[in-house]
Chain A
Amino acid sequence: MPRPPSPSIPEKEFLFNALKQSLRLDGRQALEMRTPTLTFGPDLGWVECSLGKTRVIAQVDGKMVKPPPERPLEGLITIHSEISPMASTEYEPGRPSDEEVTMTRMLDKVIRRSDAVDKESLCIQAGQRVWHLRLTIHCLADAGNLLDCACLAGIVAFKHFRRPEVEVVGDEVTIHHPSERAPVPLSMHHTPFCLTFAYFPDTSTPPVLDPTHLEQRLSAGLLSVALNAQRELCVVQKAGGVPLDPDEILRVVDVAVIKAKELDKIVEERLKEDFAGRNIEVQ
């Protein structure tokens, strides 16, 4: 089981000294995020998100299934994310590392538990047919902050996806092919964005937003905040790591609120650009 070489002592000291002077190795400000680049594929619901060198692909597809008896009026959403060694040599296939478990659970909380997608709108025929949406996340490269990238890719994929229009007449269900009738966007309650802050062992060092790989390895604690542009917190996760003042956490949440608004604007613009270029409306 090859262990990745830990960051060397000169690297560690250099990073800590630089951070004490509020200088980050890639030239960003302490609370500045790498600008996300969103690329949409030919299919609706396929998006590649990159934060600097961290790249994640998310894809949504839907099929009709019979709902479970305890919830006959809601659709199903499943998220499948596995970090393969393609992302980085640190990850092993088959055995979920701690970080992978954290990422899977955070994705689940941010996208599923926060009710981003309206599940009741996915119901076609109560108790018989509902849409089952499957979100698949592929992590291509890990240059730090895989979690934020994956959450962003996932939520944008849901916003980008269009499901075929379904007509229910009595007991008969007709699915219209996208070429006959324009596919319908998913009805979403809100758009959560995840932001991760890294803290370092020296408490005088300020936290950094969107850590790179080295910053993440050398951090003493990570605080992840997922929220939407309407100032609603969806997930707050600080599991262990260096203890923080309650005021510090509230300050970080305020910073996250501003960043979420910026992210929201960027995402909306990109989606608009992409749809202007596509031809999904049937004349």
Chain B
Amino acid sequence: MHDRALINVEVNIVPFSTGERRKRSRGDKRILELGSTIKSTFEPVVQTSLYPRSEIDIFVHVLQQDGGLLQASINASTLALISAGIPLHDFVCAVTGGVHSTAPMLDLTTLEENDIPHVTVAVMPKTKKVTLVTMETRLHVDRFGDIFKLACEAGQVIHKEMKRAVSERTQKLVTAMEMGPRVVPSADVGDRDAMIDDLNDY
């Protein structure tokens, strides 16, 4: 595309990530869908107009999963994009929420996901707007309203943690750069020759 960057997401789920070893085929629709969901989530968030005629690749490798796969992939992709220095409009923080009878729950494990209706919500914390909502299980409309609002608030909490992690890393990088060998701004070639002549004299 001539005026913006293309975002390409590839998801690779290793066979040993779940309790039972299961090799997934490349064309598995569920994995393709995960990839295209992450892509659609980040397309309005990444400032793609700054990189025309380029492609930004996001490779997601799932090493271990116990529920909340989409949620973890989105959070990891956000942090990876920030760590790569790609300009974003805002963080994207994702959380899963579920309702068991009437008790709401956040960040579900696999056992919980198999049992209770759950929804994954991704919010942009600065504007508190929602970029992603997916729900695949049956849930009554009223219950949905409650857990949806709760998940949006939980997104803000995740944002705090993400910001903390990003500032810690930036601090480490800055400290590392300051303590590295100082590079003297190189003088003119003429001066250098004069310096070497001086050294030879001694």
Contact B130 A242 (CB under 8 A): no
Contact B36 A102 (CB under 8 A): yes
Query: Which of A240, A241, A245, A254 has the most B CB atoms < 10 Å from its CB?
Result: A240
A147 CB–B CB distance under 8 Å: no
Contact B33 A101 (CB under 8 A): yes
A234: chain B residues at CB < 8 Å are 137-138
B145 CB–A CB distance under 8 Å: yes
Contact B43 A240 (CB under 8 A): yes
Contact B133 A105 (CB under 8 A): no
Looking at chain B, what size class is its interface with the partner chain?
A: 35 or more
Interface 0/1 of B118-143, CB less than 8 Å to A: 01000010011111111111111110
Contact B138 A115 (CB under 8 A): yes
A227: chain B residues at CB < 8 Å are 141
* Assembly CA distance A174 to B138 (angstroms): 36
* Assembly CA distance A249 to B131 (angstroms): 11
Interface 0/1 of B19-53, CB less than 8 Å to A: 00000000001101100110111111000000000
* Assembly CA distance A250 to B152 (angstroms): 12
A235 CB–B CB distance under 8 Å: yes
CB distance from A240 to the nearest CB of B (A): 3
User: Pick the contact of B130 from A96, A220, A238 — CB < 8 Å?
Assistant: A238
A109 CB–B CB distance under 8 Å: yes
Closest residue of B by beta carbon distance from A114: B138
A77 CB–B CB distance under 8 Å: no
A105: chain B residues at CB < 8 Å are 29-30, 33
Contact B134 A239 (CB under 8 A): yes
B residues 144-197 with Cβ under 8 Å of A?
144-145, 148-149, 152
User: Pick the contact of A98 from B36, B128, B134, B141 — CB < 8 Å?
Assistant: B36
Given contact pairs A109-B136, A233-B138, A239 touches B144 in the complex (Cβ within 8 A): no
Contact sample, A vs B, 5 pairs, CB 8 Å cutoff: A98-B36, A109-B136, A238-B133, A240-B43, A241-B44
A-B residue pairs, 5 tightest by C-beta: A240-B40, A243-B129, A236-B135, A239-B40, A240-B41
